[in-house]
Structure formats: C-alpha cells, structure tokens
Amino acid sequence: MNRTITNEQTDQLFQFCRDHYVNHYDIQVELVDHLASAIEEQWEQNPDLSFHEGLKNSFKKFGIYGFSKIKVQKEKELRRKYNRLLWHFILEYYRWPKVITTFVCTLGLFLLFQVVDQTIWIVLSYAALVFFGVLGYHFFVFKKFKLKIIPGKTFLLSEQFEKVNSANVIASQLPNISYQAFNMMETKTVDNTWILLALSFFMVALAVLLYGQLFYVPQKIKEHFLEQYAEFAL
C-alpha cells in the first residue's frame, strides 16, 4: 500500500509555507497540494524515504527563488482573469441590446457639445461628476463590497480586491487633467465635429469602465471568494 500524506503532515506543510514567507492562505493551499503530491510520488519510488527528506527534495525544485515565483505567477493570473472580466463587461455595452444605451448617451453628449458654446465647461462638469462619484463610492458604497475575513488569515484574492479599487485614484485627478489639457490647447471651445464625437465616445466609454471597475469586478471577486473560501468569511 502506497504511503500518503497524513493530516499532521499536511499541517506541517502549511507551517513550512508560512516559515518561507508565504502568508496568503490561497497560495498556501496550492503549494501544500503541490508539495504533498511531489512527496507521495517520491514515496512510490522509495517508500522508506522520510517525510522531511521528501519535503526537502520537493522544495529544491522551486529553485533559488523558492515560493516567490509562485506568488508572482498567481498575481499575474488573477490580474489577467479580472481584466478579462472587465473588458467583457465593457464590450457588452457595445453589443446588442446594450449598445442602444451607449449610443443614446454618446449622441446626447455630442448634441450637448453642439449647443453649449464652451466645451471646457461640459468636460469639467463631467470630470467633477466622476470625481465626486468616486469619492462618494469609497465613503458610502465600497464597504458593501469589502471582504470581511476572519482574523489571522490573509488571501491574495482579497489583495486583488483592494488593488482593483485603488486603481481608481486616477479618477480623482480627472478634473485637473481636463483643465490642464484645455490650457495646453489654449482654447475653451472645440469646433471640430470629429473631435467632439470622439470626445463624447470617450466620456461614455470611461463611465462604463469606471462602473465596471467600481461595481462589477469587486462583486465578482467577492462572489469568487465566497465560492472558494466561504468558511473564512465573516
């Protein structure tokens, strides 16, 4: 009968990961599974091999950087995963039937540019709306999405949640960026129809992007966390 990893040895593998500076539980689970499988494979060839010797041999395969490469790789995977989800969400607004809403908003902005003499006031009003909207979100809405985890556990997935929301800091600079852009052009009005149409498209697309970044992606991260680690949520 082949030897298998015991519960006590599994606990030792978790402690081994913590001793090697792997503090995120979701990465620990992945590494413990990998180490346990590697040790059991060695036992198939050499049943008398000690657990600690098998662990030592398995750890050597990770190379000079140890477990750090696994964390970096996992971070990239999570980033790509939620970036794909975000882009899928955005593209939905440029496909039927949601494209109707996007088209109407873009056309409405374009017509507003035709009516108002000074383009800068529409752009600055939009930038201010985004700024106060993001500010209000972080003070009043963000806590509804925030992951509540039992003390003593950290997860890379929860860190990804924080990074998704911290990425919206640029929105707070939008009024200043818009004002500086018009100063560089030394004008307050844009007369070119194609530029106004492109500006309308950009402003609507940015609104969709921010909505996806602030609401859709955090909700997905929270759902995925509860699916995988519900026992660690408060």
The reported pTM is 0.84
d(CA 37, CA 89): 38
Helix (H, G, I), strand (E, B) or coil at 23: coil
Average pLDDT of the chain is: 87
Helix (H) or strand (E) segment spanning residue 201: helix 193-211
Domain ranges of the chain: 7-66, 71-232
Secondary structure (3-state) at 190? coil
Q: What pLDDT band is residue 205 in, cutting at 50, 70 and 90?
A: very high
Check: CB of residue 212 under 8 Å from CB of residue 102: no
Among residues of the chain, what percentage have pLDDT more than 70? 92
The residue written with tokens 């806590």 in the block is 143
- Checking if the pLDDT of 127 tops 80, the result is yes
Closest to 32 measured CA to CA, from 8, 49, 11: 11
| DSSP H stretches of helix in 2-116 | 7-19, 25-45, 51-60, 68-92, 99-115
What's the pLDDT band for 117 if we cut at 50, 70, 90? confident
| Pairwise pLDDT comparison (2 vs 100), residue with the higher score | 100
pLDDT at 65 over 70: yes
Rounded CA-CA distance 228/214 in Å is 22
The pLDDT of residue 225? 92
Q: What confidence tier does 40 reach under pLDDT thresholds 50, 70, 90?
A: very high
